[in-house]
Structures are given as C-alpha cells and as structure tokens.
Amino acid sequence: MRLIIAALALLALSIPAQAGIISGARPNPGVYHSSRPVAEAGGGGGSTCGTTISMFQSTGAFRSSAASSLVATATTSVVAGHTIVVGIVSDADVVSSTQVTDNKGNVYRLVQSYNAASFANIGIYTSTNIGTGGSNFQVTYNRAFPGFSSLAFLEVEGLSCTGDTDGSATGTGTGSTAQTSEITTTATDLIVSVTGFDDGIDVQNINPGAGFTRAYQVTDNANFLAFQMQWRVAASGAYTPSTTFQTGTPNWFIAATALK
C-alpha cells in the first residue's frame, strides 16, 4: 500500500500546472473593449499590432488655471503591446513631441499639431506597441500653460506597430457644429478627433459626430472653456469628423487624425 501511495504522489508531481490566462476584456462604461484573452502588462503580453482594432479604455484630465503640467491616470491596468493615443488642447504657445510622457517610460510621437487660434493649440500623439503598461498608468503633458489645458488618452489594441497615419484634417469657426474638412482613408482606421471651444457659451450638451463615440469631455462654463475627444473605427472611405452643441454657438476649433 505504501508503494502505491508513493507512486501516485510522484505521478501528481510530474503533471505540469496549466498556465493561467488573464482576460484583457475590462468593462469600462462609454467604450467598447476586446474580448480576446491577452496577458496583462508586465506579464509579457506581446504585440497585438495589426489585429482587429479594439478600444480598451479612455480617460482624461483638465485644469482651468495656470500650471507647469497636467496628468491623467488610467482607470484600469494598461496592457503592454497596445497603443496609447493622446489628445491635448492647451493655451500654451506650442505643442511638440517632447511634451508628452508617461510614468512607464514609453516614447510618444506628435502625429498632428494645429495652431487653432491665437489662444489655443491642439496636439494628437501616439505611443505604439508600448513596452510597459500595468497599473497606475499616468500620461503627463509636460508644458507650462498660462490659463487652461485639457488632456485625454485612449488605450487601443490592433493599430500598426509603426504608428502609420492615413490622413488628417482641421477646422475652426463659430456656430453650433464644429467640423473638419473631409478625411479620405485607405484602410480600416481609428479616426480620432479633438475639439476645443470657448467664448463663455453654455455648452453643457455636447454630442459626438455621427458614428463617433465620446472618449472624454470637459464642460467648464465657469471658466469659459470646454473640450471633447472622440473616436470611431471606420472602413476605407470619406469622413467628416464633427461635434455638435445642443445649446450655444461658441468659437470652436477641431483637429482629426486617421490611424492605421
């Protein structure tokens, strides 16, 4: 009997434990997310470049007074191998590629800048196939600004590892609808647009354009500014990103970029 028990114990030790899989699908109101299982950041998740484009999460931050920087923190862990897309509106005099960093050491590239008016600038940045994610993931706009800045970022799966763009457009004006000129894409892309507006108009009711989803929004009417970042995944074709205001006709400025 003792021999049989010993043999069974040795057999049990020889059977390897099955590797665990951590699902990357994380519920987050207002965005859709991938249901494909992926390893979490810091656990060797690996690249997901060039797969089906999926949104994992979005968040942001804003400040309506002078400061030396602005920080936004992800609501859940960020996955290594994904892409971070950042949108900024600021009254700083310029936006540049060195002004966006994160606390995990990933490198960001300025893919679009727009001097929207004498008082504001828009910047759209990407960090593709990030090497490090994890919890408490923070993106920082490292630029002193005299009056206001808004920052939002998206965590996206499936964009190209090289961070290719597929068109961009801008617009500025006054009225109830902000829109860019037309963007014609050549592939299934993620189209991201950033809108800023001011002039003390009550713009609490802001709607994303047709087919777009709101990623992050600020309505700070006490300080006469507002901000919205929105996105959509779209097949090749012609698109005109827009934002509509249910009340008011503010001065507005908008920039949009298509990312492959």
Phi, psi of 101 (to 5 degrees): -140, 170
Q: Is the dihedral of CA 193, 194, 199, 201 positive or negative?
A: positive
Rounded mean pLDDT, 45-67: 87
pLDDT at 226 over 50: yes
Which of 46-55, 126-135, 217-226 reaches the highest mean pLDDT? 126-135
130 has a pLDDT exceeding 80: yes
Mean pLDDT of the residues in the chain: 80
Q: Is it the case that residue 57 has pLDDT exceeding 70?
A: yes
Report which DSSP code applies to 141.
Answer: E
Average pLDDT over residues 54-59: 95
The predicted-structure confidence for 160-172, as pLDDT tens digits, reads as follows: 988 899 999 999 9
Q: Which of 102, 93, 97, 166 is nearest to 130 (CA)?
A: 102
Mean pLDDT of 46-74: 90
Q: Model's pTM, two decimal places?
A: 0.81
End-to-end CA distance of the chain: 66
pLDDT tens per residue across span 131-171: 999 999 999 999 999 988 999 999 999 999 888 999 999 99
**Structure-token match 């008082």, residue found:** 119
User: Which whole number is the average pLDDT over 218-236?
Assistant: 82
Comparing 26-35, 90-99, 233-242, 247-256, the range with the smallest average pLDDT is 26-35
The answer, yes or no, to whether residue 19 has pLDDT greater than 50, is no
Residue 43, pLDDT score: 33
User: Does 41 have pLDDT greater than 50?
Assistant: no
Q: Is 50 left (phi over 0), alpha (psi -120 to 50) or beta?
A: left
Mean pLDDT on 12-28: 30
pLDDT given for residue 78 in this prediction: 97
Q: Which pLDDT score, from 0 to 100, does residue 183 have?
A: 96
Query: What pLDDT is attached to residue 172?
Result: 92
Residue 188 — pLDDT band, cuts 50, 70, 90? very high
Q: CB of 124 within 8 A of CB of 254?
A: no
User: pLDDT-derived band of residue 67, with 50, 70 and 90 as boundaries?
Assistant: very high
